Chain A
Amino acid sequence: MDKIQSLYEALTKVDGFIYPNELALNWDMLIVMYPYITGLVAGAFILASLNRVFDIKALRPTYELSLLTALSFMLVATMPLITHLGQPLRFYEMLITPHLTSAMAIFGFVYLWYLMVVLLLEIWFDYRYDMVIWSREKKGFMKFFYKALTLWVSDTSPESRKTDEKIGYFITVVGIPSAFLLHGYVGFIFGSIKANPWWSTVMMPVIFLFSAMVSGIALVMFIYMVVSYLRKQKIDMNALDTIAKYLFYILIIDFTLESLDQIHRIYEADESFDILKILVRGKLFFTFFIMQIGVGVVIPLATLGFLQFKKPRVRIRKLIYWIISICVLVGIFYMRWNVVIGGQLFSKSFYGFTSYKVNLIGGSDVTLSLLWFIVPFFILAFLLWLLPPWKKAPPIEIPEE
């Protein structure tokens, strides 16, 4: 937050009437990053569970990749929040002094549950057998490291693999509501603020959830293509087409829900509507109509919809998918932006606006946001090196009982 030197300077940021405490935005770009990154986690996980629980075989090549993507983003999901705190080193107090009176105080537990009980366990059971095998092949420190990762269980019998498989399945089943919980919770944080008409809607958790799925699926699609390109492997077009199909479906649901919310708002036209109208047409015009709806929804929907009927050559299709995945990722980022920043731009008196200027150079919020978006890719690279999905043993067939 910039320090405001004089009343004159302050007034240059303001249109109309605002309350003094609304002048500076307290939640800056880092808070935009937080729902964005958390959404990517939930979305990537749900893509993985489509394969496992709903048994969509075509998605098999991206199963481990989605899980590892989810994990690497999950590991930094709290960082935007922590670095945004005035006292970052006190964050642990939230975990040791639990209470139910603030929705934000619960995040630590929602996070831990999802990280420890869902993601790590699922990946562990999925890779346990392979880690045992790798620990036998490797030497020195890596041998020890894999051994430690397996918790010194070296059982490779088919029975043990079947147990892994069954428990892994069970965890995925538990994981779906957990992923819903994780991102629904983030939506709830905003949706439950009744003083802010731009946020306060019961639809918020659902909208956040579906936009999370959209962004997570687009991210895995993007990463899958990049990883295949870097490894010089052929892309499984069937898998890619299937991902694109689900992206298309969920994008439709997401857009429908968001439109429903807006139409409801427009038709209800309560006392906050006038200011929101000016907000959306003015300060949010670029980020809302052009980026969120244009780039994030209309272009992908039109292209993916077209691809459902007519399939161009593989090369072109790949290029289209690649561009679309980026469009969707950008669009969802701006969706978070419009929620977080948009909700703070107008005065709760409904008579005026403040403004938010992004310091592209030297602004600590932008630098940190970028950092927390880039770090997960390095973590993912490390995880892919440590636990390469392409070196896994083929899954064991469980006979139908």
Chain B
Amino acid sequence: MPLQVKRLLLVFAIFIGIMLVLKYVLTPDSWREYGPYRGNAIGEIASQQAKYVQKESCADCHDSIAEIKSRGEHINLQCEICHGPGYQHVDDENFKMEITKNSTLCLQCHTMNAASPKNIIKQIDATEHNEGEECITCHNPHQPWL
């Protein structure tokens, strides 16, 4: 075998060797446990703390608001849709929840949108429906017709 070919084979052997070592060292532990992904990932994701705690747990302390909300059209909305994730607040009430007072909050759901059915969600044209005033001056967010 010519010398240059021998040298090249040597270089290739070293390269492949390094690749194999790297593969051995760097491959994540549970790779391919179930398929082409890290098996541990499932456990890691499952063990993450849930950020949203559901409206029932808010009602423990905010019973009056939960009360009025349950009488209005927003009965089915989660509190956290408007106030953000509540997992820290339920443990420590000094942790403030978000309160959005301007119209963008309401318009996320109630703006005119050809793609969403009118009988399921009422929609208004923000340029015609009392433009310039915040929605909450007339509608109570917890019970829109209060």
Q: Is B95 at the interface (CB under 8 A from chain A)?
A: no
Set of chain A residues within 8 Å of B115, measured between Cβ atoms: 17
Q: Is B49 at the interface (CB under 8 A from chain A)?
A: no
Set of chain A residues within 8 Å of B108, measured between Cβ atoms: 6-7
Known: A99-B36, A160-B3. A92 touches B26 (CB 8 A): yes
Complex-state Cα separation, A8 to B11, whole angstroms: 60
Complex-state Cα separation, A66 to B3, whole angstroms: 28
Which of A44-52, A151-159, A286-294, A325-333 is near enough to bind chain B? A151-159
Q: How near does chain A come to B76, taking the closest CB pair, in angstroms?
A: 20
Chain B's closest residue to A11 (CB) is: B113
Chain B's closest residue to A150 (CB) is: B4
Interface string of B1-18 (1 = CB under 8 A from A): 011110110011001000
Q: How near does chain A come to B110, taking the closest CB pair, in angstroms?
A: 10
Set of chain A residues within 8 Å of B113, measured between Cβ atoms: 7, 11
Are A96 and B23 neighbours in the complex by a CB distance under 8 Å? yes
Set of chain B residues within 8 Å of A128, measured between Cβ atoms: 4
User: B residues 1-58 with Cβ under 8 Å of A?
Assistant: 2-5, 7-8, 11-12, 15, 19, 22-23, 26-28, 31-32, 35-36
Q: Is A101 at the interface (CB under 8 A from chain B)?
A: yes
Interface string of A149-175 (1 = CB under 8 A from B): 001110100011001100100000000
Q: Is A121 at the interface (CB under 8 A from chain B)?
A: yes
Known: A17-B115, A97-B31, A97-B36. A153 touches B107 (CB 8 A): no
Partner of A160, one of B4, B12, B35, B111: B4
Chain B's closest residue to A159 (CB) is: B2
Set of chain A residues within 8 Å of B31, measured between Cβ atoms: 97
Q: How near does chain B come to A269, taking the closest CB pair, in angstroms?
A: 27
Interface size class of B (residues with CB under 8 A): 20 to 34
Known: A92-B26, A116-B15. A17 touches B114 (CB 8 A): yes
Set of chain B residues within 8 Å of A121, measured between Cβ atoms: 8
Complex-state Cα separation, A159 to B39, whole angstroms: 55
Known: A101-B36, A167-B5. A8 touches B27 (CB 8 A): no
Are B107 and A7 neighbours in the complex by a CB distance under 8 Å? yes
Q: Is B104 at the interface (CB under 8 A from chain A)?
A: yes
Q: How near does chain A come to B9, taking the closest CB pair, in angstroms?
A: 11
Complex-state Cα separation, A197 to B114, whole angstroms: 26
Set of chain B residues within 8 Å of A124, measured between Cβ atoms: 8
Are B15 and A163 neighbours in the complex by a CB distance under 8 Å? no
Chain A's closest residue to B27 (CB) is: A96
Q: How near does chain A come to B134, taking the closest CB pair, in angstroms?
A: 15
Known: A6-B104, A96-B26, A101-B36. A160 touches B2 (CB 8 A): yes
Partner of B4, one of A7, A8, A163: A163
Q: How near does chain B come to A220, taking the closest CB pair, in angstroms?
A: 27
Set of chain A residues within 8 Å of B15, measured between Cβ atoms: 116
Are A7 and B11 neighbours in the complex by a CB distance under 8 Å? no
Set of chain A residues within 8 Å of B11, measured between Cβ atoms: 151
Partner of B3, one of A92, A96, A102, A155: A155
Set of chain A residues within 8 Å of B32, measured between Cβ atoms: 97, 99
Chain A's closest residue to B15 (CB) is: A116
Chain A's closest residue to B114 (CB) is: A17
Are A6 and B107 neighbours in the complex by a CB distance under 8 Å? yes
Set of chain A residues within 8 Å of B114, measured between Cβ atoms: 17
Q: How near does chain B come to A13, taking the closest CB pair, in angstroms?
A: 14
Complex-state Cα separation, A99 to B12, whole angstroms: 22
Set of chain A residues within 8 Å of B5, measured between Cβ atoms: 163, 167
The contact sample of 7 A-B pairs, CB cut-off 8 A, is A7-B107, A96-B23, A105-B36, A151-B7, A153-B3, A155-B4, A160-B4
Q: Which 9 A-B pairs have the closest CB atoms?
A: A99-B36, A151-B7, A96-B23, A163-B2, A153-B4, A96-B26, A153-B7, A101-B36, A96-B27
A residues bordering B, Cβ < 8 Å? Answer: 6-8, 11, 17, 92-93, 95-97, 99, 101-102, 105, 116, 121, 124-125, 128, 151-153, 155, 159-160, 163-164, 167
B residues bordering A, Cβ < 8 Å? Answer: 2-5, 7-8, 11-12, 15, 19, 22-23, 26-28, 31-32, 35-36, 104, 107-108, 111, 113-115
Beyond A7-B107, A101-B35, A116-B15, 13 extra complex contacts between A and B, CB < 8 Å: A7-B113, A11-B113, A92-B26, A93-B26, A95-B23, A96-B27, A99-B36, A101-B36, A116-B12, A151-B7, A153-B3, A155-B3, A163-B4
